[in-house]
Amino acid sequence: MSTFRIRNYRFTLLFIFVLTLHASPEDWRIALCISENPTRQMNVAWRTEIELDTPSVQVVLNSPLAKFNETPVVFPAATEIVTLSDSSRVYAYSGAMKNLHPGTSYAYRVGGVDSWSEWLVFTTAAESTDNFRFLYFGDPQNGLRSHVSRAFRAGYKAAPDAEFITMAGDLVSVPDIDQQWEDFFHAGGWIFGQVPQVPVMGNHAYYVNRTWGKVYSNQWRPHFKLPENGLESLPETNYYFHYQGLLFVVLNGSEQLDEQAVWLDEVLSREKSVWVVLSLHQPLYATGDGRDGERQRTAFLLTIDKHEVDLVLQGHDHTFGRTYPLREGAPVKKRQKGTVYIVSVSGSKQYKLNPKHNGLFEITGADTQFYHIIDVESRKLILSSYSVDGVLVDELVIKPSKMRQ
C-alpha cells in the first residue's frame, strides 16, 4: 500500500470516527429537567464529545400524525466546555423550552446542524391541582450499570405516568470519574429524556480541591439545568418548584445548613400549597450503622415542625426506613399532624441498620434495592414503597396539614 493510500485510509477512519461520535445521540446523556415553573417551562441538558454546530432544542405539540414535527419552535442552547479529569474536553448544553401551555403534551429533540436526538415526549404540569404521582429513589451511586438500571426500569414500569423523578443524592460515587456518569445515564436511558428529573445533591458530588477545599464537582451542573431560586451560593443544589398543589423543596444537606434553614423558613412562611415535600440527602434520623443525623436535625427540625412539612425524602444511609409521623423528635398522637421521614437506596451499596432511632421508625429494611411512588391527591398523599422486584413493602396515607387549608 502506498503512503498516499495509507494516509487516505487513516483519514477515512478518522472521518467515520467523527461521524460516529456525532451520530450517537443515545450517548448524549439527555436529561429533561424540572424548571421553576413546570406549567410553562421545561429544561433540558445534554452533552457531546464533538462540539455541535448551533446547538438548540426543537419543540412541537405532540400529535399522532407522522408529520407532527414539521414546524417546531426552536430554542437556542447554551454551551459549556467541561474539562474532565483526564484533561479531555466535552461540550455540555442546556436549553429552556419556554412559553409552553399547562397540562399539554409536547415532543422535543436536541442537537445541532445535521445531528439530532430522537423526538422525546413530555407533558407540562396542569394549572389545576389534579391528582398526579412521582417517583423517588434513594442513592443510586454504586453498581450503576449492573444494579441501578433495574431499579430505574422497575420504577418506571410501575409508574410510567410519574410526572417527575427525584433522587435523594449520591447519583454517582466519584463525581470526577466520567465513566460513572456514563453508567448513570445508561441506567436511566431515555426515561431521563422523557420524565423531568429532580436531582438532589449528595456528599458524593463533592471533592477536595487543594485551592478551594471541599467543592462540588464541575460535573454536577453541566449534567442538569435546574431552578436557581435558592441560595445564590448554592446554584442548582438548593431550589424549589410548585407542581399541581405541591411545593417541592430541595436542600443541599452538605453545606450552609443554617443559611438554608432561614431560607426554608421564608419560603414556607408564604406557602399556600396543600402539600409540602422536602428532599435532602443526609437524613435527620439516620438509619445507617454508626450514624446519627444530628447536624441536619439541629439545622432544620424546628423549621420543618413549625411549617408541618408533610414528607421528607432522604438518602445517604444505604438502607430503608420510614418513620411514624414525628414532631419534636417523637411520634405524634393519633390524628395529630406530624412529618414523615423516609430513607432509601436504589444502588448496590448497602449498610447495616442503625438501632439508634428505632423508636421513630415504623418500618426499616436492609440489603435491598427500592423505589417509591408518591401519589399526590387533594385530600391525601400516598407513599408506596416497593422493593425492586415490584413487591409493595410499605404503604402510608398522609393527611394534609390544617395550616395550609
The C-alpha atoms of residue 61 and residue 277 are separated, in whole angstroms, by: 31
Q: Which stretch binds Fe ion (CB under 5 A): 40-48, 84-92, 162-170, 184-192?
A: 162-170
Residue number with CB closer to Fe ion (92 or 168):
168
CB of 387 to Fe ion, least distance (A): 19
CB of 250 to Fe ion, least distance (A): 15
Residue number with CB closer to Fe ion (123 or 346):
346
Residue number with CB closer to Fe ion (92 or 280):
280
Q: Which stretch binds Fe ion (CB under 5 A): 10-18, 45-53, 94-102, 164-172?
A: 164-172
The C-alpha atoms of residue 382 and residue 375 are separated, in whole angstroms, by: 5
Q: Which stretch binds Fe ion (CB under 5 A): 120-128, 131-139, 191-199, 251-259?
A: 131-139
CB of 140 to Fe ion, least distance (A): 9
Residue number with CB closer to Fe ion (109 or 223):
223
**What's the count of helices (H) and strands (E) in the chain, helices before strands?**
7, 26
Residue number with CB closer to Fe ion (315 or 338):
315
Residue number with CB closer to Fe ion (227 or 347):
347
Q: List the interface residues with Fe ion, window 309-348 (CB under 5 A).
A: 316
Full DSSP string of 296-308: HHHHHHHHHHHTT
DSSP state of 264: H
The C-alpha atoms of residue 38 and residue 348 are separated, in whole angstroms, by: 32
CB of 254 to Fe ion, least distance (A): 9
The C-alpha atoms of residue 83 and residue 91 are separated, in whole angstroms, by: 9
Query: Locate cell 429494611: which residue?
Result: 365
Query: Locate cell 436504589: which residue?
Result: 346
Amino acid at 133: R
CB of 174 to Fe ion, least distance (A): 12
- Residue whose C-beta lies closest to Fe ion: 170
Q: Indicate whether 139 belongs to the interface with Fe ion (CB under 5 A).
A: yes
Q: List the interface residues with Fe ion, window 183-222 (CB under 5 A).
A: 202-203
Residue number with CB closer to Fe ion (61 or 366):
366
The count of C-alpha atoms lying within 13 angstroms of the C-alpha of 14, restricted to the half-sphere facing its C-beta, is 6
Residue 246 falls in which region: left (phi positive, over 0), alpha (psi -120 to 50) or beta: beta
Q: Which of 39, 90, 107, 170 binds Fe ion (CB under 5 A)?
A: 170
CB of 2 to Fe ion, least distance (A): 58
CB of 284 to Fe ion, least distance (A): 14
**Strand residues in 34-77 grouped as ranges (E):** 42-48, 56-61, 73-76
Beta carbons of 362 and 321 less than 8 angstroms apart = no
> How many amino acids of this chain bind Fe ion (CB under 5 A)?
6
Residue number with CB closer to Fe ion (141 or 323):
141
Q: Which stretch binds Fe ion (CB under 5 A): 71-79, 141-149, 254-262, 391-399?
A: 141-149
CB of 170 to Fe ion, least distance (A): 3
Residue number with CB closer to Fe ion (202 or 293):
202
CB of 306 to Fe ion, least distance (A): 27
Q: Which residues contact 93 (CB under 8 A, 6 or more apart)?
A: 45, 46, 47, 48, 52, 55, 77, 78, 79, 80, 110
Q: Which stretch binds Fe ion (CB under 5 A): 6-14, 134-142, 187-195, 262-270?
A: 134-142
Enter the C-alpha cell of residue 320. Answer: 430503608
The C-alpha atoms of residue 109 and residue 33 are separated, in whole angstroms, by: 14
Task: Please choose, from the candidates 176, 227, 231, the residue with its C-alpha nearest in 3D space to the C-alpha of residue 199.
Answer: 227
Decide: helix, strand or coil at residue 208: strand
Q: List the interface residues with Fe ion, window 236-265 (CB under 5 A).
A: none
Query: Locate cell 411545593: which residue?
Result: 247
Residue number with CB closer to Fe ion (171 or 261):
171
* Binding-site ranges for Fe ion (CB under 5 A): 139, 141, 170, 202-203, 316
